[in-house]
Structures are given as C-alpha cells and as structure tokens.
Amino acid sequence: MKLLVSVVMFFLLLNCFATAQTLIRDSCKTAAAKDPNLKYDFCVQSLEQDPQSKTATTLSGLVLASTNNAASKAINVKGIVETILKNKNYPPGTENASANVHLSAALDEPSTCEDGFKEKHAISPVTNENNILFQKILIPLAFTNML
C-alpha cells in the first residue's frame, strides 16, 4: 500500500512540474509573439531558473514571480550603479551627451508606469513615488543640459 501511495505522489509531483514548465513555455511564447522586444528563449530560461516561477500554476502566479524576479534584478543593478558612483569609477568614454540620452530615456519610465494603470482603468498605487522619481531624474538631466 505504501508503494502505491509513493508511486501516486511521484506522478502527481511530476505532473505539477510538467504543468509549470508548460505554463512557462506557453506564456513566454504568447508574450513574445505580442511583443517583439521580448525574447522567448530569455523568458523561458529566466522563469525556469526561478523557484517561484517553477511552482506557478496560473498566469497570475507567473506575473507575481516574474515581477519579483525583475525587482530583484533592479535592486542588483542599483547596487552596481551605487558602487560605481561611490568609487567614482566611471566607464571610459563617459560623456555628457551619453548621460543626457540615458536620463531622457529614464524620464519616460514613471509616466509609462502610470499609463499602464490608466489603460486598465485602475488607480496606480505608486503615483506619488512616480512623481518624485520623475523630478529626481529631471534634476540631473537639467544639470547635464547646463554643461
């Protein structure tokens, strides 16, 4: 009897893993087909390496897992930038025009975030933070334009 229960449990676990893998691959395929910037292979690889994604059983579960994954990466990048700024170890060839381009691109992000909520007829929980971020990006952009 114990053997039967063990075999059944094994197949249930195997089925859950296969279901999560199918969900990841199908979701990445659909998303990549709709957005030319999204690379299917990267999507699958990053989600299959994430323990939270591997246990997701719904698209909502993948949204949560991939959001956490992106937030972790953003924190990692922030740490790298802080280290560069702290050590004043700027990459060779850093110039004002390049900084201006990157800051201008970053300036669009808070409003892009807000637009996403508006498109869904939802209220953004981070409007104040986005407004502050916009202003904080605008300061160095204005300064680089003064150089």
Spans of all domains in the chain? 1-89, 91-147
Is residue 24 within 8 A of residue 44, CB to CB? The reply is yes
Question: Residue 15: its pLDDT value, please?
Answer: 46
Range name among 20-29, 67-76, 99-108, 128-137 with the lowest pLDDT average: 99-108
Structure tokens at 113: 């975030």
In this predicted structure, what is the pLDDT of residue 7? Answer: 46
Phi, psi torsion values for 94, nearest 5 degrees:
-65, 130
What's the angle, vertex CA 138, arms to CA 132 and CA 144, rounded to 5?
150
DSSP letters spanning 34-62: H-TTS-HHHHHHHHHT-HHHHT--SHHHH
Structure confidence by residue, pLDDT tens digits, 3-47? 555 544 544 444 444 466 899 999 999 999 998 888 999 999 999
Residue 47 has a pLDDT of 92
pTM for the full predicted model: 0.56
Residue type, 65: A
Q: Is 53 exposed, middle or buried (0-12, 13-18, 19+ CB in 10 A)?
A: buried
Torsion angle (degrees, nearest 10) of CA 129, 135, 139, 142: 140
pLDDT of residue 90: 59
At residue 41, the pLDDT reads 94
pLDDT of the residue at 12: 47
How much is the pLDDT for 45?
93
pLDDT of 43-85, one tens digit each?
Answer: 999 999 999 998 999 998 999 999 888 888 888 877 877 887 7
